[in-house]
């Protein structure tokens, strides 16, 4: 009897020593048992018939960063390459995001972060937009996640090209460009991904 009691105490001690032992809440931030919380750079591979894609997003301090090069998606669908920006969130064991188009090429800045002039900014029409939802395992150091999503071609629209230069009247000029609608139907996909780093940049 004494040995059985000792065994129960040992099991209880081991269970409590682990983060969130016996189903209790993890002690660290972001609902993650890791001290890094949900911070990190995440990347996933998407696939379906005639579809291959990648998307990535970065989280620092529990909030998605504004770093454009770490929040991007690119898909190859039936011979067409489309890309854009990612807005994503992790909540408990769920991950969800929106796939949208972003600025083409970004905006040039100098060493002090000021806008380099003259600058040309292309605000593209969405060739596609979409979403993804899935589950994430925050009990794993690689925070593996997987789920499903879809991309949809967008209708005809008008883009604006804004040219900024101090030599221009009013400092800028705006050019409107008509963009044809995307010529592919709704495309569903499945994805699998992991956290590449435990700290965002």
Give the tokens for residue 130: 């979409």
- Sign of the dihedral defined by the CA atoms of residues 111, 114, 119, 121, in that order: positive
Threshold 0.85, pTM exceeds = no
Residue 4: exposed, middle, or buried by beta-carbon count in 10 A (0-12, 13-18, 19+)?
Answer: exposed
Query: What are the tens digits of pLDDT across the range 160-175?
Result: 888 898 888 888 988 8
Domain ranges (residues) in the chain: 1-29, 32-197
User: What pLDDT does 47 receive?
Assistant: 94
Beta bridge partners of 80: 77
User: What pLDDT does 122 receive?
Assistant: 64
Q: Which residues, 6+ apart, have CB-to-CB distance to 33 below 8 Å?
A: 18, 19, 20, 26, 27, 138, 139
Question: Using CA atoms, how far apart are residues 149 and 188, in angstroms rounded to an integer?
Answer: 6
Collapsing DSSP to helix, strand or coil, 104 comes out as: coil
């Amino acid at each position: 009897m004494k040995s059985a009691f000792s065994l129960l105490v040992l099991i209880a001690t081991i269970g409590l020593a682990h983060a969130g032992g016996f189903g209790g809440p993890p002690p660290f931030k972001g609902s993650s048992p890791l001290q890094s919380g949900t911070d990190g750079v995440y990347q996933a591979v998407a696939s379906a018939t005639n579809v291959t894609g990648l998307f990535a997003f970065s989280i620092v301090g529990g909030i998605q960063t504004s770093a454009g090069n770490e929040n991007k998606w690119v898909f190859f669908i039936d011979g067409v390459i489309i890309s854009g920006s990612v807005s994503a969130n992790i909540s408990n064991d769920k991950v969800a995001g929106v796939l949208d188009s972003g600025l083409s090429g970004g905006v040039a800045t100098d060493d002090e972060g000021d806008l380099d002039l003259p600058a040309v900014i292309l605000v593209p029409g969405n060739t596609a937009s979409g979403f993804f939802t899935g589950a994430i395992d925050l009990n794993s150091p690689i925070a593996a996640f997987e789920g499903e999503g879809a991309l949809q071609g967008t209708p005809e629209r008008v883009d604006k090209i804004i040219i900024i230069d101090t030599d221009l009247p009013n400092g800028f000029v705006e050019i409107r460009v008509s963009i044809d609608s995307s010529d592919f139907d709704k495309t569903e996909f499945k994805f699998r991904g992991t956290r590449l780093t435990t700290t965002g940049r």
